[in-house]
Copies of this chain bind each other. A is one copy, B any other.
C-alpha cells in the first residue's frame, strides 16, 4: 500500500513517524496531511537506502538538486561526486536527469547510493531509446513510454516528473497566443513533438489510469510536470501555463482518489511581483497539493549567476507557500553543471528555503540564526564556521587576511562588536 492509502486507512507508517520526528510535528498531523494529499512522502517500496522526507503543508521547505549526464558530457563517477556534494550540503532530494551514456546503469547506481529520495523524468529514457531504436523521438510507441516508467518504478525511483497536463487543448492555447520562448521544458518538448507529429493526445493524459496503476504498485510519487512553464518573464502566468495548471489540478484529484501521491511542478521564469500569485493559483487550482518550483527566476538576464536569481524567486515562492525548491546552478542556460556548480546551487537554494522557513514561523529555523548571531557577537569564529552552511568556506575567507585583533579583517581594530562590548557593557553571552 502507498503512504497515501495507509494514511487514509488511519495507519501510521514508519516513514510518517520518521517525518513527524524529523519535523517536530505530531504523528497525527503528518498522517492527516498525507491522507488529504497536502503532504507527500516520496518513498518507493524498492528504494532500500532511502531516509524519507516529507514535502508539503506545515513542513520545512525542501530543496532538490538535479544531477545527471548530458548527451555531451558526464560519467557515472562525476555524477556520484555530485550526489555526494548534494547530500553533504543539505539537499533533501536529487533528480537524475541523465540523457547520455548508459542512463539505466547510471540511474541504478544513483538510486542504490542515495539516502535522499531520487526523482527522474522517464520520458528522457523513452525518448532517447526511441531515437536509438526507431530513429526519432516521434517514433516512440506508447508501450515504450510506459515500459520506461515501469522499469524505473521497479528500480526504486521515488518520484517522477510526468508532463500529463500537456494536452492538445493546451497546445492550441499556446498557438493562439504569442510566446517569446514557447516551450523550454525538455520533457514537454519531447511530448509536444510526439503529439504533433502523430496527431494524437498526450499518452500520459489519455492513459493516466495506466500511469496511476504503475505509480501505486511501487508508491511512486507523481510530480506533475509543467511542460508549459514560462522560459522568460514575458511568458509568465499566461493562458497556456494556467490552462495546464487547471488540468494538473484535476489530475491531482484523480491521483488522490487512486491512492497515488502527487505534487505539482511550477515555473520557471516569473517576475517578482507575480510569484505569490503563482503559488496561490497552484494551491487553489490543485487543492493544496505540494508545490515544487523550478526557481522561479526573477530576471532573464543573469546567466552565469542564475543561482542568485533563483534564490530570490525561491525564497519569495516558499515564503508564499511553495513547498519544494528545485535548485538552479550558476551553469543554468549555459552548460552542464560541474561539481562546484552543484555545490553552489544547493547552498543558494538552501539559503532561500531557510529564509522562507523563518518567514513561515518555523521555530527551529529562527533558533539556528540566533545561535549564529550569539557566536558572531562573541567573535567566536569557530562556532560561526560550525553553524554556517559551508564551514570550510567560512574558515577560508576569514583566514584570507590575518587580523591583528580578535575581529575580522573587514573592521580590524574598529569592530563595532568589540567597541560596544567595551562601552555599552552588554554581553551577548547572556542572551
Contact = CB atoms under 8 A, between A and B. Distances in A.
Interface of A: 70-73, 99-100, 124, 127-128, 137-138, 171, 174-175, 178-186, 188-190, 192-193, 196-197, 231-235, 269, 271-273, 298-305, 307-309, 311-312, 315-316, 319, 330-338, 347-348, 351-352, 354-356, 358-359, 366, 368-370, 372-374, 376-377, 384, 387-390, 393-394, 397-398, 400-404, 408-417, 419-424, 426, 428, 431
Contacts of A171: 424
9 contacts: A100-B412, A124-B414, A186-B416, A189-B419, A271-B359, A300-B369, A316-B316, A330-B397, A335-B408
A192 B424 contact: yes
Contacts of A307: 308
Given A233-B358, A302-B347, 10 more contacts: A180-B428, A181-B377, A189-B423, A271-B355, A273-B319, A303-B388, A311-B312, A312-B316, A334-B410, A335-B403
A99 B416 CA distance: 13
A388 B196 CA distance: 34
A201 to B, nearest CB: 16
Contacts of A359: 271-273, 298
A420 B73 contact: no
A359 B331 CA distance: 25
Given A183-B416, A377-B180, A351 B192 contact: no
A335 B401 contact: yes
A397 B304 contact: yes
A305 to B, nearest CB: 6
Residue with the greatest number of chain B CB neighbours at <10 A, chosen from A137, A190, A300? A300
Contacts of A272: 315-316, 319, 355-356, 358-359
A401 B73 contact: yes
Nearest to A298: B355
Contacts of A309: 351, 355
Nearest to A269: B373
